[in-house]
Amino acid sequence: MESASINDDGRARPSAPMSMPSIAFRRISSLFSWSCCSSSPKKSEDGYVEFGQNDYGREGGGSRTLGTFAGVFSPVALSMFSALLFLRVGYIVGNAGIIVTFVQFSIAYLILVFTVTSICAISTNGAVEGGGAYFMISRTLGPEFGGSIGTLFFLANVVSSALYIVGCAEGLVENFGPNGYLVIGGLPIPDSPWWRFTYCSILNLINLVVCLFGAGMFAKISVIIFIIVCLSLSSVMASFFLVSPMEIPIPYANALIQNSTHRVNASYTGLSWDTLSQNFYQGYTADYTSGGQITDFAIVFGVLFSGVTGIMAGANMSGELKDPGKSIPWGTMTAVLFTLISYLMVSFLSAAACSRLLLTNNFMYMMPINIFPAFITIGVLTATFSASLSNLIGSSRVLEALAKDNIYGRILKGITAGVHNGNPVAAVITSWALIQLMLFYDSLNEIAQINSVLFLLSYFATNLACLGLELTSAPNFRPSFKYFSWTTALMGLLGTVIMMFVINALYAVSSIVLCFLLVVLLHLFSPSSQTAGWGSLTQALIFHQVRKTTRFADFMLHLQVNESVLLLWLFEIKNSFYPCVMVRKYLLLLDSRKDHVKFWRPQVLLMVRNPRSCTPLVQFVNDMKKSGLYVLGHVIVEKEFAEHEVDPTIQLNTTWLSLIDHLKVKAFIELTVAWSVREGLNHLGHLAGLGAMKPNTIVLGFRDDHEPIDFFQTIGSDYMTDKFDRDGKAFEFEGNQMDANEYVSCISDVLRMKKNVVLARNFQTYSKAQISVNRLIGNNSKESAITFLYLDPPPGNDDASQLYLGALSELTSNLRPTLLVHGIRAVTSTTL
């Protein structure tokens, strides 16, 4: 398609070499002392700018340094492995059996994949800045809901980091302490609650140092740890093939079957069909780490799912990624696939080589059967340490985004000031301090479930945001990730809600209540709730409902009386279901003050002089409206309205409605009587539409002296019909009702109304069949179906109107169907 874009200086920049009409147009334009496109609007306050600046980048700039592997793949894979890979696979397989284990992993990863598709859709729809999940949600659902989810997501990362630090410290003590698995007799590492707190504090301090060095250091550490974890994982898989059968003692910590007088052992058989068959089916038993609690499907599934909820680890680093739109989808998807394959392989090999007694009573069974036992210890320590590090840096980025958005006003004012070389130092230190406080809490494991629920709540909000954008057919939502659809968003949304209640129903209800409480508080007290110009998805949803119910009400008016009575009886179970009541309800909720460029829709008023000659244009605009408002306007020029016994528009309205039925377009009709076309255009431009649903774009046919074509009578025309000629000929051709001055004045009037104006020419040659041919020949032809050109505003004096029209005529001469467009503000946004 031939097109023209606009340079910063306002001049049109065609994609093809300058043609003779364009050169002539520029020369003629110079006579009036205005350049061809000099009045192209500059970026104004109407444009969409994030955080009051053109670039969201942090002070110091140059902070985007991470690629896909180091910035997304490694953090996501490590977060999804955490301690589950080395410490809980036996617990899952031993209790659920290999068949149910595979089913559980399939369900868990299916939910995760649906959510990942939503993450990928948002990240490929616009420029993703710092803040990860919070940024994505807030830019779609608004500052109140985004701020609420962002706050809970920040706290979830803080608690999660503390949990993994405690897990890492426990790994140190249990492997190198007095009763260590790895070192018999233990190293000089004392064990007591305060000593464990000291170890946790040291690990937290190391995390702080790494994060203070910035994202680059984090990426390097993550890659190194990922390599170590992969080596440990490889040693585990190799050991199942290389190590001979043996008896493995049950740890002393298992008080359920172990005692001081008799040491109980369990069998490692090596790869065996008999062992695999014994582990086929479920056999839920007591959990020796939780005081003998009897497990079931929900408990085991909750443990499994809570260990693989790290899919946002890469998105949290969005502010440091070189190309988040590419890195987040590829890195997250490949990490999810890699971890799934790893889990399934380890689960299968464990079920085929270890007895159920061993799997359910010794969660460290991988260490004694490993060719190098230290690899398991290294794997556990590095996996938990990297997960805590990822949560710390993720929480700091979310906190920084909350501060920059002024969600909590002065409370977080110091966070934005403490940025050094693109690294949010103040946010990192604040997150570190909160994690340190969490380490004082003795029973962190008790809040592990609510921590998982909070992560799931953020995934729910991400799916909800994508589902809302997709269902409203928002023009700005066009993700390049082709595997996303409203069904994947809905499945992800339902899956995350179900999992929240499977893990813990009480915590799920509590977190939802807390979320909505924060929404109310932020709506009442947050400065950003009034100042944030991010657009309202609620307004887009209301507009979508208004359009649907209005079309249904219009459909009811077209029915015969008996059909109408029947349908009204079916739909009017309650008054609220009556279409007119619904239209009024939604129209009152629409607020034009909340219009935003992200949800801009072409709400078109097409001025039709005679539909016989402009049916192709009527059809084309119908195809271009993209779920927006479409109004066909017609002016009846009448000098003496009082001489008519009946308003002429009443008589013509039925004919025009029949025209809509014949053309099969989704449009409304607006007819008016005026002394001139210009006056009628002003009537329709100001009064067409209802409430906030008013046209923002007016399309005018081009004024020339060409003989009009009657498409209703043209043989072979797609619009051929005789229904408008049966009872007297409708839509009679008349002479030209406007001179050049009045036509140009109409263009000026539209611009004064602050509406976009479009001039359409040569649409008598427009054919959808030719568009299909154009699609087939593709790049092999330079023929364009439609040409878009910039429309320079009319000159200020009437004497130049004829020259202005002459310049436009020469510019568009012998072109295919052409639209000359002049917009009044930017309607594009590179941000979410």
Band of the pLDDT at 23, cuts 50, 70, 90? very low
Compute CA distances 666 → 25, 541, 623, 709, whole Å: 37, 19, 9, 24
Name the 3-class secondary structure at 2.
coil
Residues 270, 139: one domain? yes
| Domain limits for position 807 | 4-11+18-35+600-822
**What distance in Å separates the CA atoms of residue 233 and residue 270, rounded to the nearest whole number?**
17
Name the 3-class secondary structure at 323.
coil
Among 287, 273, 330, residue whose Cα is nearest residue 123? 330
CA dihedral 250, 254, 255, 260 (to 10 degrees): 40
Question: Do 128 and 325 contact (CB within 8 A), yes or no?
Answer: yes
Tokens of 59: 């002070």
Assess whether pLDDT exceeds 90 at residue 629.
no
Residues 456, 355: one domain? yes
Assess whether pLDDT exceeds 90 at residue 494.
yes
Of 516, 531, 546, the one marking the end of a domain is 531
**Number of domain units in the chain:** 3
Assess whether pLDDT exceeds 80 at residue 228.
yes
Q: Span 618-639, mean pLDDT? A: 87
Assess whether pLDDT exceeds 70 at residue 465.
yes
Residues 508, 636: one domain? no
Residues 424, 562: one domain? no
Band of the pLDDT at 14, cuts 50, 70, 90? very low
Alpha-carbon 323 to chain mean position: 16
Alpha-carbon 557 to chain mean position: 38
pLDDT for the residue 132: 73
Question: Do 621 and 577 contact (CB within 8 A), yes or no?
Answer: no
Band of the pLDDT at 770, cuts 50, 70, 90? low
- Average model confidence (pLDDT) for the chain? 79
Compute CA distances 725 → 496, 612, 615, 649, 719, whole Å: 60, 11, 16, 19, 14
Question: Do 547 and 422 contact (CB within 8 A), yes or no?
Answer: no
Residue 431 lies in a domain: yes
Which tens digit of pLDDT belongs to each residue from 428-452? 999 999 999 988 876 666 677 788 8
Assess whether pLDDT exceeds 90 at residue 458.
no
Which tens digit of pLDDT belongs to each residue from 327-356? 889 999 999 999 999 999 999 999 999 999
State pTM to two decimals: 0.73
Bridge-based pairing of strands 604-607 and 246-249 is unpaired
**What distance in Å separates the CA atoms of residue 731 and residue 613, rounded to the nearest whole number?**
10
Helical pair 143-176 and 374-404, crossing angle rounded to 10 deg: 160
Alpha-carbon 47 to chain mean position: 20
pLDDT for the residue 169: 86
Question: Do 746 and 700 contact (CB within 8 A), yes or no?
Answer: yes
Residues 519, 609: one domain? no
**What distance in Å separates the CA atoms of residue 677 and residue 696, rounded to the nearest whole number?**
19
Name the 3-class secondary structure at 227.
helix
Among 334, 341, 326, 333, residue whose Cα is nearest residue 116? 333
Of 589, 613, 632, the one marking the end of a domain is 589
Q: What is the CA radius of gyration of the chain?
A: 34
**What distance in Å separates the CA atoms of residue 19 and residue 800, rounded to the nearest whole number?**
23
Residues 160, 288: one domain? yes
- Domain CATH for 244: 1.20.1740.10
Select the more confidently predicted residue: 64 or 206: 206
Residue 183 lies in a domain: no
Question: Do 128 and 57 contact (CB within 8 A), yes or no?
Answer: no
Beta-bridge partner residues of 321: 66
Q: Which residues of 611-646 are buried (b: 16+ CB within 10 A; e: fewer)?
A: bbbbbbbbbbbbebbebbbbbbbbbbeeeeeeeeee
Among 378, 399, 341, residue whose Cα is nearest residue 133? 399
Q: Span 77-100, mean pLDDT? A: 89
pLDDT for the residue 539: 65
Least confident of 77-86, 204-213, 488-497, 640-649: 640-649
Residues 492, 584: one domain? no
Residue 296 lies in a domain: yes
Q: Is 779 exposed, middle or buried (0-12, 13-18, 19+ CB in 10 A)?
A: exposed
Which tens digit of pLDDT belongs to each residue from 190-200? 878 888 899 99
Residues 742, 801: one domain? yes
Q: Span 533-539, mean pLDDT? A: 64
Bridge-based pairing of strands 293-294 and 286-287 is antiparallel
Residue 374 lies in a domain: yes
**What distance in Å separates the CA atoms of residue 550 and residue 583, rounded to the nearest whole number?**
6
Q: Which residues of 743-765 are buried (b: 16+ CB within 10 A; e: fewer)?
A: bbbbbbbbbebebbbbbbbbbbe
Number of Cα atoms under 13 Å in the Cβ half of residue 41: 15
How many Cβ atoms sit within 10 Å of the Cβ of residue 297? 15
pLDDT for the residue 166: 86
pLDDT for the residue 428: 93
**What distance in Å separates the CA atoms of residue 165 and residue 200, rounded to the nearest whole number?**
6
pLDDT for the residue 185: 58
Q: Please tell me what DSSP assigns to residue 784.
A: -
Question: Do 697 and 632 contact (CB within 8 A), yes or no?
Answer: no
Question: Do 589 and 546 contact (CB within 8 A), yes or no?
Answer: no
What is the DSSP secondary-structure string of 378-419?
HHHHHHHHHHHHHHHHHHHHHHHHHHHTTSSGGGGHHHHH--
Which tens digit of pLDDT belongs to each residue from 113-163? 999 999 898 888 876 776 777 887 787 777 888 888 889 889 988 988 988
What is the DSSP secondary-structure string of 257-314?
T--SSS--EEEE--S-HHHHHHTSS----EEGGGTSEEP-HHHHHHHHHHTT--TTTT
Question: Do 50 and 40 contact (CB within 8 A), yes or no?
Answer: no
Residue 181 lies in a domain: no
Across 88-97, 520-529, 648-657, the highest mean pLDDT is recorded for 88-97
Band of the pLDDT at 57, cuts 50, 70, 90? very low
Phi and psi at 454, nearest 5°, equal -65, -40
Select the more confidently predicted residue: 274 or 714: 274
**What distance in Å separates the CA atoms of residue 486 and residue 121, rounded to the nearest whole number?**
11
Residues 479, 571: one domain? no
Select the more confidently predicted residue: 611 or 141: 611
How many Cβ atoms sit within 10 Å of the Cβ of residue 358? 25
Assess whether pLDDT exceeds 70 at residue 780.
no
Residues 610, 683: one domain? yes
Question: Do 164 and 381 contact (CB within 8 A), yes or no?
Answer: no
Select the more confidently predicted residue: 471 or 540: 471
pLDDT for the residue 195: 87
CA dihedral sign, ordered 397, 400, 405, 407: positive
Among 509, 521, 520, residue whose Cα is nearest residue 449? 509
Q: Is 60 exposed, middle or buried (0-12, 13-18, 19+ CB in 10 A)?
A: exposed
Residue 524 lies in a domain: yes
Assess whether pLDDT exceeds 60 at residue 708.
yes
CB neighbours of 42 closer than 8 A, spacing ≥ 6? 10
Residues shown for the chain: 832
**What distance in Å separates the CA atoms of residue 25 and residue 811, rounded to the nearest whole number?**
6
Residues 559, 441: one domain? no
Q: Span 219-242, mean pLDDT? A: 92
Residue 185 lies in a domain: no
**What distance in Å separates the CA atoms of residue 797 and residue 812, rounded to the nearest whole number?**
23
pLDDT for the residue 817: 82
Select the more confidently predicted residue: 740 or 531: 740
Angle at 614 between CA 612 and CA 615, to 5 degrees: 75
Which tens digit of pLDDT belongs to each residue from 289-328? 777 788 888 888 888 887 888 898 888 787 788 888 888 8
CA dihedral 367, 373, 374, 377 (to 10 degrees): -10
Assess whether pLDDT exceeds 80 at residue 729.
no
Alpha-carbon 44 to chain mean position: 26
Among 119, 16, 591, residue whose Cα is nearest residue 330? 119
pLDDT for the residue 735: 64
Beta-bridge partner residues of 674: 637
CB neighbours of 489 closer than 8 A, spacing ≥ 6? 114, 117, 118, 121, 463, 464, 466, 467, 470
CA dihedral 585, 591, 596, 602 (to 10 degrees): 60
Is the backbone of residue 606 left (phi > 0), alpha (psi -120 to 50) or beta? Answer: beta
**What distance in Å separates the CA atoms of residue 239 and residue 410, rounded to the nearest whole number?**
57
Tokens of 780: 């092999």
Tell how many helices (H) and how many strands (E) occur in the chain.
29, 13
Assess whether pLDDT exceeds 50 at residue 32.
no
Residue 203 lies in a domain: no
3-state secondary structure 409-450: HHHHHHHHHCCECCECHHHHHHHHHHHHHHCCCCCHHHHHHH
Question: Do 398 and 154 contact (CB within 8 A), yes or no?
Answer: yes
Assess whether pLDDT exceeds 80 at residue 692.
no
Tokens of 102: 């595979």
pLDDT for the residue 179: 66
Residues 571, 688: one domain? no
pLDDT for the residue 540: 65
What is the DSSP secondary-structure string of 730-751?
SS--------HHHHHHHHHHHH
